Structure 1
């Protein structure tokens, strides 16, 4: 018996992703070789479309960011619809008069720039002792008047000293100037050697109490010797003020025999020890002192009636 053998057909293996990709690449390569011109044109078209898409996306992003920024700025700073207020014109007749501060004479009356006493002003609350202590002010008019009248002539061989032989711009020079602004018509001026024995000078502010004793003065604020405007407040030397300090007493407030407060003006109390340039001079006015608070050095050690010597000069 003849048996006929039949061979089964071979089954093909399933195509994988890699093999499919390789087959497509081979077919694409054959097509490219067969159509070179079409290949070039197709590449240019695909590249142009890609560039155009990129540009459109970039412009879209830029426009979106710009709109967001504009909306944010407009919401933070809304436009003002209020018209600017017009400034009313003020005629010369309507301009307010400016207040001019004038120095004060030992009697408490004001002085004009020439040193002539003006009529006394009405008393203020500061004189009654019932008002709160006002802040001291740094004078401009009084300081400018002092600058005009002081002369630096190096008296006694001291560089920068004034015509009264005190250092210009210092507390001693300012007090001498104030004392000489009203000499009671005697023509006598206070200076560094005034009414002292030969060889003695008033010197630094710390030495004025001893000089006052040598001049025959009795200190004030003692029984029967009240402090009066025109007196000199004096501080002795210590670690804070090695040369002492003096100030001019402008006004006083008493309760019976007790000195409650006084008003003073001074120079160089808030500056450096050595300040001889006129632009550096500092003058304070309206400084109210009470025993518990007297800036910057506390309550004075002494009150000196130097104005009594000027009103009654020794023979």
Structure 2
């Protein structure tokens, strides 16, 4: 086969362009620090990067959910501690009254207990990010009115199947956060579990207008202070201690959930770190290696130019000059 000058020029140009293209790709890797910029550069690597980015987005959402749930429970725990402090102070004042005080001191005790009752109502209407924390799903409404009566219904709701039919199961109005692929965390605490209803009942459903037990207890205490009846005051002390015990029990439950969320948060943060390391390994270049490959490609390109200038035969125009 006869090798013409045009064939030499054409092949040389093709090879030079191929070398130059490789040089341009290596330059991009050095500049951006990435192994590929379009899926066609590395289809398998691009597919893995897409999956890693999707997984990172999911896990980061789980982390946001975990932090929001932890903040909600921290606010609830703070409110419960404040309720316990109020009941503790009421207990101290009742003990003072039961031990016998003069009428002036008794009037002061009555006035302080009245203020503590109002403060307890304010705690019951505590909000987190504009949402009431003790009202179940009805976060846009306060829990209690100025007399300690419930302003919302707190009742178990029917669980429905995929066709919208009742399954027979009932659940409390508890928010559940997704904090993992198959991990859930319930965050809010219903007000009736803390303030009660009826006679020391902290489990039954309540309806709008029902009197919260703690405020019924306050009214009985106020009546006992008005009559200065020691037996009634002793009975009030028992009720107060039972209420404090219930609040401590609920606080312990919230604390256990918070500890679990802390462990979940640490696990999720480690997952994010691991996924980002895998993503970096998949698409990030080693800069020393990239610099070396770039230098090799640059030398190859320069050598190609030098060799090409020697193998191209002089044309007729060169002879004419």
TM bracket, shorter-chain basis: under 0.3
In terms of fraction of residues, the more strand-rich structure is 1
Whose relative contact order is higher, 1 or 2, with alpha carbons under 8 Å and at least 6 apart? Answer: 2
Answer 1 or 2: which has greater helix percent. 2
Output the TM-score relative to the length of structure 1.
0.21
TM-score (structure 2 length as normaliser): 0.21
Larger Rg computed on CA atoms: 1
